[in-house]
Amino acid sequence: MAREAAARHPCPGCAKARILLPGSGMCAVCSRRCQSCGARVRRLEPTLCKTCRRKAAAAAAKSPCPRCGRPGIIREATGWCGTCSRPKPGRRAPRTCGQCSAATTHPTNGLCPACWQRHPDRPRIRAQHLIDRLEVVPPWLAGFAENVIDVYCPARAAQLIARLAQLLDGEQSQRPHDVLERARTPGRSIGPLARALQDYFVRNHLALATDHDALLAQGRRQRRIDATPEPLRPAAAAFAASLLTANDRARRARTKPRSDSTIQHALATVRDLAIFLNDGGNTQWSLVDRGDVEAFLATVGTGHRPRSLTVLRQFFQWARTNRLVLVDPTTGLRIRQHRGFTGCTIPVDRQRALYRRWTTDTSTHPHEALVGLLALLHGVSSLEARTLTVHDIDTSTRAASLGNRPYPTPLDPATWDALQRAVQHRDSLRTANPHVIVTRGTKPDSRPASPAYLAHILDPVGLSPRALRVTRLADLVNTMDPKLVACAYGLNPEGVLDYLADHVDPPRMHDPGPNP
């Protein structure tokens, strides 16, 4: 007995004093394990536990179903598995929509899905649920919800409120600036919710506008710098930094800084010159001479050479100041260019046809008729038409303040009727945008229409607003005093002189008569 007691040790499985088997290190009972799941088996004969035996018996009783092909227990009554043998639930009886009286099987608040999408109470219900759920309600939430409901359709407004609910959940800051930063989406657009928040916060003096335009401009500048060959890239990056520094200095001095497009064009010109030099085997700015600049300008289009030469002068003057080059290769380089107007004008018969189209054809879009008549009769540019607001219209005198023109422009009856049609079209959109020309993209906010929209607004007639504008300016400058035209249109007198013809019409020349 003492020898047997000495041979017993605590079993790791059951903690009882047993004789441990050398193979498993446990007692005989704990050593019997299921071959499938590894659980302990109490009986001596089976190699599977109770649960695995039941699963194996159920799997052995299954066979492929003739209908669905999946393994299952075949029912004698149907010859199929249990899932296929069950009767399908009956279709729900259709109900009548409370608004359009259409039959629907899935009504929401008594309405069909289409009517519920258009129901005006849908975004208000979602906004009220959001307010009830928040522990601390931002003071601007109710006003923003009403603004979104007034500007967007019910479905879009409900979607924006749902996205806003995701930003307000948790313990994150609910200050307008922080919410606006979280709502921004990466990419070219800040997103519809961030745009709506920005417009509402800026209009109510709750937050400043985002720097999204500046970030996009920075990305465009960086892409042009990255496209510069690597040996010549540091100078291009330093030149871009100098242009931005000059812009900051101009803003502090209250002078006119360069626009983003001007800086981007300058960097693009430097990039093209660097690629041209690198392809020719030149990898140092100090080795550039006048012949390289002339060869590069020969590859540039004729109309872009003067501007490219101006940019290269600026770059090499900066490079000489920073001791990247010893001699400015653009010194003494000149490009002769024609200073007069070289564009195409529209014949009088075509102008009459366009006038009849925009004054008598009611099927034309109000924006097309307005932009066409403003450019044809008043020489209005695309920028002036884009920035025209309802506050610039004087109904008492039937005049409009256009762009930088020093005096309001009186409108003729045809243009005034087209302007009234455009205003009525704007009112039908139910927008708070103050501009007369409002598109689907600018309806929710206060931005003017995009330049691309104005550039293609006259595509149905195959023209551009610029062609109509230059036709009007060329006619006025050649029939009137150019100084009066420049004063009325707010233009530079030197620029107006380009529209003067290079010949004098014979009927306007004084006939001295035959010599005696």
Query: For residue range 437-449, what is the model confidence (pLDDT) as tens digits?
Result: 999 888 888 889 9
Q: What is the pLDDT of residues 108-148, one digit of tens each?
A: 777 788 888 888 888 998 999 999 988 888 999 999 999 88
pLDDT at 344 (0 to 100): 81
pLDDT at 267 (0 to 100): 94
Q: Which stretches of the chain drop beneath a pLDDT of 70? A: 1-7, 44-46, 90, 106, 337-339, 501-516
pLDDT at 1 (0 to 100): 59
Spatial distance between the Cα atoms of 194 and 174, rounded to a whole number of angstroms = 14
pLDDT at 114 (0 to 100): 81
Distances from the Cα of 144 to the Cαs of 102, 140, 170, 341, 350, in angstroms?
34, 6, 20, 51, 50
pLDDT at 515 (0 to 100): 47
pLDDT at 509 (0 to 100): 44
- Intra-chain end-to-end CA distance of the chain, in Å: 165
What six digits make up the tokens of 145? 């919800």
pLDDT at 233 (0 to 100): 93
Give 360's DSSP letter.
H
CATH level 3 topology of 348-499: hpI Integrase; Chain A (1.10.443)
Spatial distance between the Cα atoms of 477 and 474, rounded to a whole number of angstroms = 5
Spatial distance between the Cα atoms of 352 and 281, rounded to a whole number of angstroms = 58
Q: Output the CA torsion sign for 111, 114, 115, 120.
A: positive
Residue 444 neighbours by CB distance under 10 Å: 23
Helix (H, G, I), strand (E, B) or coil at 249: helix
Q: Is 513 left (phi over 0), alpha (psi -120 to 50) or beta?
A: left
Spatial distance between the Cα atoms of 459 and 337, rounded to a whole number of angstroms = 31
What six digits make up the tokens of 303? 């109309």
Contact in structure between 208 and 177 (CB atoms under 8 Å): yes
Spatial distance between the Cα atoms of 271 and 61, rounded to a whole number of angstroms = 77
The most distant pair of C-alpha atoms in the chain lies apart, rounded to whole Å, by: 165
Q: What is the pTM of this model?
A: 0.65
pLDDT at 136 (0 to 100): 87
Q: In 40-192, where do the E strands start and end?
A: 63-64, 71-72, 95-96, 103-104
Pair type for strands 71-72 and 63-64: antiparallel
pLDDT at 12 (0 to 100): 76
